[in-house]
Amino acid sequence: MLTRIDHIGIACHDLEATVEFYKATYGFTDAHFEVNEEQGVRECMLKINETGDGAASYLQLIQPIRDDSAVAKWLAKNGEGVHHIAFGTDQAVADEAAEIGGKGVRVLYDTPRKGSMGSLINFLHPKDCHGVLTELVQKA
Ligand code: CMX
Ligand code: CO
């Protein structure tokens, strides 16, 4: 079952400048930087809500590190902006993806891959989700 919004993914050209915008404008403070080689991005998770129950939601700011990455392709076509939405699941992401895939939605990876902060992730094809690239997240 999908239980919450884990994060909104935002593609940007300059990670440091974009993080600074969110810090200065909204006062977000808790920044976690990471490189995900497999996904071809440098990223920063900025915490929005401190709920204390482990279900905080984040902005994921992502900058491509390779011209052939999915995000580089998307940025070249669309410019900066909202790239994907990620839902948290209360079960193994492989089981969640299998359930949703069984309803005819294309799941992008056969097996879950590494996401931010030790999470496991998969994606649903945007063309099967009314134009929204959708990520499934199983927290570490
Ligand atoms: N949101 C909505 N639609 C999107 C999209 C997005 N982020 N990315 C692509 N599309 C649409 C395109 O507009 C295009 O539509 P049209 O045919 O109508 O023009 C169609 O999907 C195909 O797009 P494309 O540019 O040809 O791109 P690809 O098919 O090569 O790749 C996708 C699309 C979704 C398979 C690829 O982006 C992917 O594998 N994404 C998952 C991985 C990812 O995005 N990683 C970065 C985030 C990492 C993280 O969150 O940790
Ligand atoms: Co994401």
Q: What is the CATH number of the domain that holds 12?
A: 3.10.180.10
Q: Which residue has the tokens 């401190």?
A: 50
* Domains identified in the chain, total number: 1
Find the domain containing 123 and state its range.
Answer: 4-138
The ligand 1 atom at the shortest distance from the C-alpha of residue 78 is: 13
Predicted TM-score (pTM) above 0.90: yes
Taking only the tens place, the pLDDT of each residue in 79-115 is 999 999 999 999 999 999 999 999 999 999 999 999 9
Q: Which of 63, 84, 96, 138 is catalytic?
A: 84
Q: Are 7 and 58 in contact (CB under 8 A)?
A: yes
Closest-CA residue, ligand 1 atom 45, reads 39
pLDDT in 10s for each residue of the chain, 140 residues = 999 999 999 999 999 999 999 999 998 887 899 999 999 999 999 998 676 666 788 999 999 999 999 999 999 999 999 999 999 999 999 999 999 999 999 999 999 999 999 999 999 999 999 999 999 999 99
In what helix (H) or strand (E) does residue 7 lie, and over which residues does it extend? Answer: strand 2-11
d(CA 120, CA 107): 14
Measured at the CA of 11, the angle between CA 10 and CA 17, to 5 degrees, comes to 95
